[in-house]
Amino acid sequence: MKKILVALCALWISASACAADQQHHSLWSLKGKTNTVYLLGSVHFLNASEKLPAVVEQAYKDSEVLVMEIDMDDLDPAETQQITLELGMLPAGQSLEQQLGKPTYSRLSARAQEVGIDPMLLNRFRPWFAAMTLVQLQLVKMGLDASSGIEQRFTTRAVADKKPIHGLETLREQLSMLAGLPDRQQREFLLYSIDDADRMGQEIDELLSAWRTGDSKALAALLAEGFEQYPDLYRPLTVDRNRRWLGQVEALLDKREDYLVIVGTLHLVGKDSLIELLEGRGHKVVQH
């Protein structure tokens, strides 16, 4: 679980070198009967100054419709809050301190203060939600921002350009995968969000060149490490979703419009990735 936090949040990237001059990118495409379907590996948190490669910009321009993990432009803030609280909060009378024990909760409190949140605000959170909160705050502290991530950037542009956005799953389905993890795995996830925070910057740096150059082997190695150590955690979050999405992506090949499909990068590399599953169905997938 050394890099579980990075993997679960897909990949994050800072604003250092630009990817525009690299030979490959985390972008693939396949031809339908009369159209093209692009598959873009997403990074959910970016620095606002990060520039996207020209080939990615062109894929967006070529596409009439966008498909994301969830339908970003139709998210209702009130419903989003209701679902998040429903799945992320502990039942009345329970606390995170009770679940973790005082020694571990003390470590959580210290980490929360370091990233700028009152530990008491986390005390009613389920472990998975507390972990994700700490990770996101740590990323913000590093200068990264979800509003500058791939999905949010293209959502903003698609709305302005009047391009439709469709979702492969709902927000409830997505969050339920984390909320449905066994209590032991949720606590494990939280513990590593505490212990691994100091190494997060280094781990992200190790992934930057792989994402920027579309190094599928390096990215797949990260995924393989997670599967080997925590198969019960990775399988529902990656492989099972890839298989559910496969039919939806294939159906796009029968459409007339060109599509840009944006999913977490780790869904596009390694064994049982969307790329491998599509190739297994006889489709020719080209990396750009």
Residue 288 is predicted with a pLDDT of: 93
pLDDT at residue 266 greater than cutoff 70 = yes
pLDDT in tens, 197-210: 666 666 666 766 77
Please indicate whether residue 175 or residue 189 has the higher confidence score (pLDDT): 175
pLDDT digits (tens, 9 = 90+) for 76-92: 999 999 999 999 999 99
Q: What is the pLDDT of residue 64?
A: 98
Kindly report, residue by residue over 114-133, the tens digit of the pLDDT: 889 999 999 999 999 999 99
Least confident range from 108-117, 210-219, 249-258: namely 210-219
Residue 81: left if φ>0, alpha if ψ -120 to 50, beta else—which one? alpha
Whether residue 20 has pLDDT greater than 90: no
Enter the tokens of residue 264: 């977490």
Helix H or strand E segment including 255: none
Residue 223 in this model has a pLDDT that exceeds 80? no
212 within 8 A of 22, measured Cβ to Cβ = yes
Give the integer Cα–Cα distance in Å for 115 and 108: 11
Confidence of residue 65 (pLDDT cuts 50, 70, 90): very high
Is residue 36 within 8 A of residue 29, CB to CB? The reply is yes
Residue 4 has pLDDT above 70, yes or no: no
Cβ(141)–Cβ(116) below 8 Å: yes
Q: For 51-81, b where at least 16 C-beta lie within 10 A, e where not — what string?
A: ebbebbeebbeebebbbbbbbbbeeeeeeee
Q: Name which residue leads in pLDDT, 197 or 287.
A: 287
